[in-house]
């Protein structure tokens, strides 16, 4: 009992730590992008200022919205936070409340409420975002399942702490490298980054995640942004801990991953919506090869 309480406490602390650095990582990604585009760019602390600004502003609701609309950002944030408490390798140790599948389904809970809320404001933009989010998530899900499968075959468990990569065993083997590349592709799609979605705009042609949040303002908006920054950090940490077959500190992996996202986002254009299935098909094929090679 004592062990459980301590472990839950440590998990919560880890969640808060990741929450604190999340806007910084998002700021670093933006800074890298700006420098690569020969711009000065905003300070890496800009996201903190933005979140504080939104937090202070008034929250305006559309008269047609209901309970789901005000509930969704909170659930979304809470699922991201919950995912942050489950990431292995920082403070959590061997303790787990759920395995990798539960991790996926907890994030799916956030998606469930966000897509519902997109329909609650009764505008066409919201529905468009929700519809596309579902489309992307359907294509991402098989790849996520295969990514879990490969590590669980290798380490005989689906708990995240057991799935942490073993450098002696999987140091640059074919299967480890393929899985690493594939998970990076999956990560970009899961977090609505280029080339699947463009986080910078909410134009009609590109919008997916940003247009689901179009109706939000004030505290609710800041929660959504905080939740999605946190989700990127969680995925970067998971990517580093589970799939990068190089022995360097996890914090450094997260930082390098953020820089890599910045570079990839600068080099690539937004893909056509219906090309995404080819992109994620590639990730699935890579994972398939990795599983056969394992």
Applying CB under 8 A, which part among 42-50, 123-131, 173-181, 187-195 lies near another protein? 123-131
109 binds another protein (CB under 8 A): yes
Q: Cα–Cα distance between 31 and 29 in angstroms, integer?
A: 5
Q: Choose which of 14, 30, 92, 96 interacts with another protein (CB under 8 A).
A: 96
Applying CB under 8 A, which part among 41-49, 57-65, 224-232, 239-247 lies near another protein? 57-65
Residue with smaller CB distance to another protein, 139 or 165: 139
Long-range CB pairs of 198-204 (<8 Å, 24+ gap) are 198/270, 204/125, 204/128
Residue with smaller CB distance to another protein, 24 or 106: 106
Burial class (CB in 10 A: 0-12, 13-18, 19+), 277: middle
Q: How far is the CB of 24 from another protein (least distance, A)?
A: 21
Q: Cα–Cα distance between 192 and 137 in angstroms, integer?
A: 10
Q: Cα–Cα distance between 282 and 56 in angstroms, integer?
A: 43
Q: Cα–Cα distance between 25 and 63 in angstroms, integer?
A: 36
Q: How far is the CB of 261 from another protein (least distance, A)?
A: 23
Residue with smaller CB distance to another protein, 160 or 258: 160
Residue with smaller CB distance to another protein, 55 or 167: 55
49 binds another protein (CB under 8 A): no
Q: Choose which of 10, 277, 279, 282 interacts with another protein (CB under 8 A).
A: 277
Residues binding another protein: number (CB under 8 A): 80
108 binds another protein (CB under 8 A): yes
Residue with smaller CB distance to another protein, 252 or 292: 292
45 binds another protein (CB under 8 A): no
Nearest-CA neighbor of 192 among 212, 178, 177?
212
Residue with smaller CB distance to another protein, 116 or 250: 116
Per CB under 8 A, contacts with another protein among 197-256 are 215, 218-220, 223
**Does 289 sit behind a cis peptide bond, omega within 30 degrees of 0 on the bond before it?**
no
CA-to-CA dists, residue 250 to 33, 87, 177, 185, 206, angstroms: 22, 11, 17, 20, 33
190 binds another protein (CB under 8 A): no
Residue with smaller CB distance to another protein, 78 or 250: 78
127 binds another protein (CB under 8 A): yes
Q: Cα–Cα distance between 8 and 16 in angstroms, integer?
A: 12
Q: Choose which of 20, 35, 49, 122 interacts with another protein (CB under 8 A).
A: 122
87 binds another protein (CB under 8 A): no
Burial class (CB in 10 A: 0-12, 13-18, 19+), 229: buried
Name the token pair of 177.
């490298």
CA-to-CA dists, residue 52 to 46, 56, 134, 220, 222, angstroms: 10, 6, 30, 12, 8
């Amino acid at each position: 009992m004592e062990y459980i309480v301590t472990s839950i406490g440590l998990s919560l602390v880890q969640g808060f730590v990741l929450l604190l650095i999340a806007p910084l990582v998002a700021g670093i990604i933006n800074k890298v992008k700006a420098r690569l585009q020969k711009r000065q760019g905003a300070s890496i602390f800009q996201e903190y200022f933005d979140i504080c600004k939104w937090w202070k502003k008034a929250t305006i609701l559309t008269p047609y919205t209901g309970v789901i609309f005000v509930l969704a950002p909170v659930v979304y944030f809470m699922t991201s936070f919950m995912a942050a408490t489950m990431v292995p390798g920082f403070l959590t140790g061997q303790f787990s409340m759920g395995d990798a599948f539960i991790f996926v389904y907890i994030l799916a809970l956030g998606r469930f409420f966000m897509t519902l809320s997109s329909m609650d404001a009764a505008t066409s933009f919201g529905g468009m975002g929700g519809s596309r989010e579902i489309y992307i998530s359907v294509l991402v899900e098989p790849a996520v399942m295969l990514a879990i499968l490969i590590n669980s075959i290798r380490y005989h468990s689906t708990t995240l702490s057991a799935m942490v990569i073993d450098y002696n065993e999987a140091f640059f083997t074919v299967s480890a490298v393929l899985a690493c590349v594939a998970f990076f592709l999956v990560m970009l799609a899961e977090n609505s980054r280029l080339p699947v979605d463009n986080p910078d705009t909410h134009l009609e042609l590109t919008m997916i995640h940003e247009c689901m949040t179009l109706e939000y303002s004030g505290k609710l908006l800041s929660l959504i942004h905080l939740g999605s920054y946190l989700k990127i950090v969680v995925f970067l940490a998971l990517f580093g801990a589970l799939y990068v077959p190089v022995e360097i500190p996890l914090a450094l992996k997260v930082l390098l991953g953020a820089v890599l996202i910045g570079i990839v986002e600068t080099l690539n254009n937004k893909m056509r919506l219906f090309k995404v299935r080819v992109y994620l098909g590639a990730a699935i094929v890579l994972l398939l090869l990795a599983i056969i090679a394992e």
